[in-house]
A and B are shown apart, each in its own frame.
Chain A
Amino acid sequence: MIRARVLIRPKAGILDPQGEAVQRALPALGFAGVANVHIGRLVELDVEDAAQLESMCEKLLANPLVEDYEIQVGE
């Protein structure tokens, strides 16, 4: 079994209100110098065939219309 990780991010250029909310919250808590905050999703899974990960992303794990995904394989 191979350990895999998929990072799913909103596509650049599409409004990310969650990211904006966090970007506003951080300075309010005293953290200065924060920009370009975006919220995504992490999927971690064990797979037997890492070659299937791309297809899993295209079909279910991400919506390729509005999300980018990054596959990381192994520890």
Chain B
Amino acid sequence: MRRSLAPQMKFGVLQFPGSCDEVDALEAARRVGDAELLWHAERDLKGADAIVVPGGFSYGDYLRAGAIARFAPAMESVIDFAGDGGLVLGICNGFQVLCEARLLPGALLPNANRRFTFRQVELEVLNSGGSFTHGCALGERLSIPAKHSWGRYYADEETLAAMDRAGQLVLRYAEGENFNGSMHDIAGVSNERGNVFGLMPHPEHAVDELIGGSTDGLKIFESMRMTVEGVHA
């Protein structure tokens, strides 16, 4: 349901040299609101209400995935935007960029199975109260494709315990689905404030039944819209 006088919210989807999933992210966002691509070299976020840092291989994953992208002019603006409480979603490489930028705790490491893996995975919602999952039920399963070789989530046990207490562990791989060896099967985390969220699987690839048969990814974009527009489920 939408308030008839409210303008559509606008997503800004970053685009780095080497990004490859920014167009799918743009199209997914467009199912929920307005969306525009934001080129890495420009500081202007064009009035975006929420930012998506997309999947791919920004700067060729040179040095470390996301290590260089974190210093892009657009990311300087995103860091300020996040500091002001703006919503930032990082998908796959985007998650890596957000960890490198220290907008999210922890780091992503090479998959424990040593393989680039592309398969549908079942995720469990551990926290359904936040800005990115309040369109989901607690414990709900989401079917979303994962597509990465560097997706093992790592943080030391002390940090993980603190994150757990603060509700920052948002998504986990269901039993048997954790091919990358992420600590405690963690698939997606948020920052303490809850306005920045990163996940390795690709919700933008699960928005149309014609492709893959799951539209569970839409719930994340829809949750963001609800947050921005002030409408809560």
Which residues of A come within 8 Å of B, CB atoms?
A: 14-15, 17-18, 21, 41, 60-61, 63, 65-66
Contact = CB atoms under 8 A, between A and B. Distances in A.
Q: 4 nearest interchain CB pairs?
A: A17-B114, A66-B107, A65-B107, A17-B112
Given A60-B67, A63-B100, A63-B107, A15 B112 contact: yes
Residue picked from B63, B68, B100, B111, most chain A C-beta under 10 Å: B63
Nearest to A41: B63
Contacts of B152: 15
Interface in B189-217: none
Interface of A is mostly: mixed
Contacts of A61: 63
Contacts of B106: 65
B6 to A, nearest CB: 41
B79 interface: no
B110 interface: yes
Residue picked from A18, A61, A63, most chain B C-beta under 10 Å: A63
A14 B109 contact: yes
25 contacts: A14-B109, A15-B109, A15-B112, A15-B152, A15-B181, A17-B110, A17-B112, A17-B113, A17-B181, A18-B110, A18-B114, A41-B63, A60-B63, A60-B67, A60-B68, A61-B63, A63-B64, A63-B67, A63-B100, A63-B107, A65-B106, A65-B155, A66-B107, A66-B109, A66-B154
A41 B109 CA distance: 14
Interface residues of B, number: 18
Given A14-B154, A15-B152, A17-B181, 11 more contacts: A17-B110, A17-B111, A21-B114, A60-B63, A61-B63, A63-B64, A63-B67, A63-B100, A66-B107, A66-B109, A66-B154
A66 to B, nearest CB: 5
Residue picked from B64, B112, B114, most chain A C-beta under 10 Å: B64
B132 to A, nearest CB: 23
A8 to B, nearest CB: 9
A65 B181 CA distance: 17
Nearest to A62: B64
A66 B150 CA distance: 14
A53 to B, nearest CB: 15
Interface string B81-116: 000000000000000000010000011011111100
Contacts of A66: 107, 109, 154
A41 B110 CA distance: 14
A14 to B, nearest CB: 6
B67 to A, nearest CB: 6
Contacts of A65: 106-107, 154-155
A55 B114 CA distance: 31
A63 B68 CA distance: 12
